């Protein structure tokens, strides 16, 4: 079975006064139906309601917020898309490692 990755936002904390998000809880799950590897974290944000790209809490989509998460994972001169792909590859490899180990190990008794 193919290994799939699923990103999600588990919750956000925002200011009631202006809708500015200042904390995002996110997760990434890699799964092949049998084996799973997951990661997650908290992303601290600085909301600036006067910025041209500001999105108030009520208008956010999960895709908007995951875009922030991908950007926070950038290393060196990567793009957000490259950071996302690199992170998915890392966790996909962890699941593949579980699959590979299971394929060369058996349990039971010889009789």
pTM across the whole model: 0.87
- Which residues lie closer than 8 Å to 107 by C-beta, 6 or more apart? none
Q: Is the pLDDT of residue 100 over 80?
A: yes
Q: Provide the pLDDT for residue 1.
A: 79
Closest CA to 10 of 42, 50, 32: 42
Select the more confidently predicted residue: 42 or 105: 42
In a domain, 110, yes or no: no
Q: 55 lies in which domain range?
A: 4-104
Query: How far is the C-alpha of 60 from the C-alpha of 19, rounded, in Å?
Result: 10
What does the pLDDT look like over 3-30, one tens digit per residue?
999 999 999 999 988 889 999 999 999 9
Q: Provide the pLDDT for residue 19.
A: 85
Q: Is the pLDDT of residue 106 over 90?
A: no
3-state secondary structure (DSSP) of residue 22: strand
In a domain, 12, yes or no: yes
> Between the CA of residue 40 and those of 5, 17, 49, 91, 107, what are the distances in Å?
13, 28, 27, 11, 32
Mean pLDDT over residues 77-104, rounded?
95
In a domain, 111, yes or no: no
The count of domains in the chain is 1
Q: Is the pLDDT of residue 86 over 80?
A: yes
In a domain, 95, yes or no: yes
In a domain, 75, yes or no: yes
In a domain, 58, yes or no: yes
Q: Is the pLDDT of residue 67 over 80?
A: yes
Mean pLDDT over residues 21-42, rounded?
97
């Amino acid at each position: 079975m193919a290994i799939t990755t699923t990103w999600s936002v588990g919750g956000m904390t925002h200011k009631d006064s202006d809708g500015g998000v200042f904390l995002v809880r996110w997760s990434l799950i890699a799964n092949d139906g049998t084996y799973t590897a997951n990661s997650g974290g908290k992303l601290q944000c600085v909301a600036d309601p006067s910025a041209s790209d500001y999105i108030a809490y009520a208008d956010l989509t999960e895709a908007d917020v995951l875009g922030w998460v991908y950007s926070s994972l950038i290393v060196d001169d990567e793009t957000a898309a490259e950071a996302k792909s690199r992170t998915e590859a890392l966790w996909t490899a962890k699941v593949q490692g579980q699959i590979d180990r299971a394929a060369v190990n058996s349990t039971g008794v010889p009789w």
